Chains A and B, each alone.
Chain A
Amino acid sequence: MQILKANHDLLSAKNRALANALNAYSGASVAIEAAKNGQPTFRHGGRLFQSAYSPEKEAASQTAEIAAKKPDWVLLFGLGCGQLVKALNDAGMDKVLVYEPSMEVLSGVLASVDLSGVLSRENVALYSDLTSLISKVREIDGFDTLLGYATTPYKLGFSQEFAEFNTRVNNAHTTNRVCIRTDIESRENWIENYFANIERLPDCPPIDSLRGAFKGVPMIIAGAGPSLQKNAHLLREAKGKAVIVAAITAYKPLLKHGVVPDFVIASEKVDLPEYFTYGEDDLKTRLILAEVANPGMFERKVREKFVFFNPFITLSRSQAPLWGSSYFPSTGGSVTTAAFDIGLMFGCDPMVLVGQDLCFGENGTHVPGGVYIAQDVKIDREKGSVSIEEDYVTLKERAKSSFDLLWLKGLDRRPVPSKFDWVTFHQWFENYAAALKNEGSSVRLINATEGGAWIEGMEHTTLAQVLERHLKNEVPIDFLVSEAVARRPVADFAGLLESVAGMQMSLKELKLAADAITREVSRLKKELSKEGVHSGAARRIERVKRLEDVLFRTAERSPFIWETLMASICELKEYLRAEAASGTQGIEDDVEAILKAYASLSKACAKFYPVLGRAKASLEAHAPRSESAGTTRKAV
């Protein structure tokens, strides 16, 4: 009992959900046996899971095998009696996530084997549900290497669970890496877009102006998955009884079915004029745009435009309150995920998804009627790849792309082919549903997508059923929107102006410091090539350090600058990782890496200085004269 209590106390602190699940578990538990050396071992399903002689020695072989691959994180499928986790820790591998697929094993082991020492380590965590494990995997740095490991009895005894574990861990880590890549490729555009959008933002109420405006009103979010074809026509009946939000890609297909959505949500960094009709329908709908969406999107003529601010952009987090927004939607990388969180902020219930297939359809990736005229999708299961050829509405030639093939569980529980971005969204939906459940939320989450992936934590049904059960009353949507917008908070233009002016000033200082560092490091490089490492080098390095201190202090006033430099920061990070892995690569390489990093910084400062100048000019038009002239307010 003491062992169980020690384990339980620790689990309660580290993973309360698991501790509760164990408390509630009333099924059978494996019997723990003593191996010949006294260590614990057990059988499950008639199979020995660890050595009956020395589980410790067995764990040592497995540890040697794992250590040879030098992973940053080890993801163990199966806890066993904990000897392997301990051996890994003893060998210096202290980042270990353990997923135990069997409550029968877990309850038996935790009742008899004291694992409190092992499990108390900071980076060791135990899970019995895959969703929580995957959630943790999503937090791991995409640069880190992960090694999934299972002993043979676990692979054989829990083959289905092992396959799912592998697929989902692989999906999660792939999306981590892809998200980093997307981030690297997009940050600079996002920041540039935001400053350009400042001119339009005064006319776009923050989306949280509508906070709580639709309490208890159903929201239907339409994605543009192939299955939307099956039930989009039913949305005509939903009009006026639910808030209908379309992902930008689903807008035109919905129009083809006679449905004008109440909102269309978009956040693309590039302009997407082809998604609009430039007719009556556009003027009946409202756009919900990300603050970093392409400025072209803010110029579309629609009934009304709302803006939302992203939580993962420092600049947005600091500026949003000045625009009167205190809401940052949780997003999983797609506008549909953002819309889902926005719906909850509106107070909507139930939240209903349609067209959210998250996988390849039989003939393409999207519902007909949008921007893809024809698609040819080829899935190569053996190579694990998907190639797509498609005629896009604005392109003269066929567009070609290819992706790694990933798999999700389908509505009929059989695997459906998917790709990294859909898998990311899928994980987000499942994590979101799990988080709501943990919070005790009563909001009903319904996936009425009639095809594609199963989303754990949601009720799966047809749209016809949703209409019948949940859409009974007329809702004065236009009135509710107008009323809420009329009460919207006023933007602090003076504060915004001062903030942007402060950032522009610090950009200038940053550039000066970066250029000074570049000059010092260039001189050091020349001296090193002529004289090798010499006594003067230390003095020069000291000067560089002092200049760096100045630079970092200045950069605190413009935190966005680091985000715009994501690509060079990542390059530097990869260089440092490679250096750490292979030992020193020589001072010349270090000097080269530093030069490159500061040259990028200087270039970014030069590029953004006029961009901020234009933003400042836009704000000056709105800011009260008396305040705009001064610079006494504290910069944000």
Chain B
Amino acid sequence: MTEVYLDGVRLEFEDSGSGSTIKELIETIENDLSGLRRFVMELWIDGEMLQEWRGSRVLNRPISIYSDYKLKTASMEEVALEGLDLVQEYMKVTRENIDACVNDLRVGNGRADAVMSSVFDGFVEIVKTIDALARGGERYRMDLFRENPAAYFNPVIRGLEELREASDGGDSITAADILEYELKPLLEEMEGNLFHYYA
């Protein structure tokens, strides 16, 4: 018998055809929660917390194969704050990675490629998270950013494309220049201009 708990309260739940997926369960619950401006934040299945569960393939499985679901929710504001924290952390780490990568490129350290990949990943996560936050903020009428973050997306993408081109062409000097004198200032500008407060 499958049991579902929401914030510690057991839900009356019936999976009549035994064919519903976990994803459908969560969507149903989040639809019900939307009026309360709340989201499902944590998902525990059979006593185990699932990390990175959104987008996970686990969600496509039928509810009936597990016996126990515990869902924890958070308010939109809490989610937004967590998202802002996360993006600022991404920015800090990416800035540090830029410094390391610039140095590695200049001294010819072999790990420069690996650090540059982290820089790329960092920027992708920053843009993705800011974009998600901006959309959420618009939808739920929350003023999350001091200015429109979308204005930074194109320069970031352009800088990353130039960086990729320099890197693919083995031009480490140009790659270091782009990182230090284009992308890093852009990142610092974003950090300085976008946030109402700092985590």
Known contacts being A47-B170, A48-B171, is A152 close to B177, with CB within 8 Å?
no
Residue in A49, A51, A150, A156 whose CB lies within 8 Å of B176: A51
Q: How far is the CA of A155 from the CA of B171 in the complex (A)?
A: 11
Evaluate contact between B174 and A152: CB separation under 8 angstroms: no
Size class of the B contact interface (CB-based, 8 Å) = 10 to 19
Write the nearest CB–CB distance from B159 to chain A, whole angstroms. Answer: 14
Q: Which residue of B lies closest to A154 (CB)?
A: B108
Per-residue 0/1 for B140-182: is the Cβ within 8 Å of any A Cβ (1 yes, 0 no)? 0000000000000000000000000000011111101100110
Contact of B106 among A47, A49, A58 (CB under 8 A): A58
Which applies to chain A's interface (DSSP): helix, strand, loop or mixed? Answer: mixed
Produce 1/0 per residue, B88-110, CB < 8 A to A.
00000000000000110111100
Q: How far is the CA of A36 from the CA of B181 in the complex (A)?
A: 10
A152 adjacent to B181 (CB under 8 Å):
no
Asked, given contacts A36-B181, A51-B176, whether A61 binds B108 with beta carbons under 8 Å apart, the answer is: no
Give the residues in chain A near B108, CB-CB below 8 Å: 150-152, 155
Pair A53/B106 contact, Cβ less than 8 Å: no
Residue of B169, B171, B173 ringed by the most chain A CB atoms within 10 A: B173
**Shortest distance from the beta carbon of A379 to any chain B beta carbon, whole Å:** 27
Nearest chain B CB to A419 CB, angstrom units:
29
Interface string of A46-64 (1 = CB under 8 A from B): 0111111100001001100
Q: Which of B103, B170, B173 contacts A51 (CB 8 A)?
A: B173
- CA separation between A49 and B174, bound complex, in Å? 9
Q: Which of A49, A53, A156 contacts B181 (CB 8 A)?
A: A53
Query: Which of B170, B176, B177, B180: most chain A Cβ within 10 A?
Result: B177
Q: Is A156 touching B103 in the complex (CB atoms < 8 A)?
A: no
Chain A contact patch, size range: 10 to 19
Q: In the assembled complex, how far is the CB of residue A624 from the closest CB belonging to chain B, in whole angstroms?
A: 71
Minimum CB–CB distance for A568 against chain B, Å: 41
A47-B170, A48-B173 given; A152·B105 CB < 8 A? yes
| A50 and B173 contacting across the interface, CB-CB below 8 Å | yes
- Complexed CA–CA distance, A155 and B105 (Å): 13
Cβ of B188 to closest chain A Cβ, rounded Å? 15
Q: Contact mask B43-59 → A, CB, 8 Å, 1/0?
A: 00000000000000000
Report B-chain residues with C-beta under 8 Å of the C-beta of A62. 106-107
Which residues of the other chain, A, contact B181 by a CB distance below 8 angstroms?
36, 53
A152 → chain B closest CB, angstroms: 4
B-contact bits for A144-159, CB 8 A (1 contact / 0 none): 0000001111011000
Q: How far is the CB of A33 from chain B (nearest CB, A)?
A: 12
Q: Which of A38-76 contact B (CB under 8 A)?
A: 47-53, 58, 61-62, 65
- 1/0 per position for A118-153, CB-CB distance to B under 8 A? 000000000000000000000000000000001111
- Whether A52 contacts B176 in the complex (CB less than 8 A), given A65-B107, A152-B108, comes out as no
CB of A82 to closest CB in B, whole Å: 16
Given contacts A47-B170, A62-B107, 10 further A-B contacts (CB under 8 A): A51-B177, A52-B173, A52-B174, A52-B177, A58-B176, A61-B103, A62-B106, A65-B103, A153-B172, A155-B108
* Listed A/B pairs (13) with beta-carbon separation below 8 Å: A36-B181, A47-B171, A47-B173, A51-B176, A51-B177, A52-B173, A61-B103, A61-B106, A65-B107, A151-B106, A151-B173, A152-B108, A153-B172
B residues adjacent to A (C-beta < 8 A): 102-103, 105-108, 169-174, 176-177, 180-181
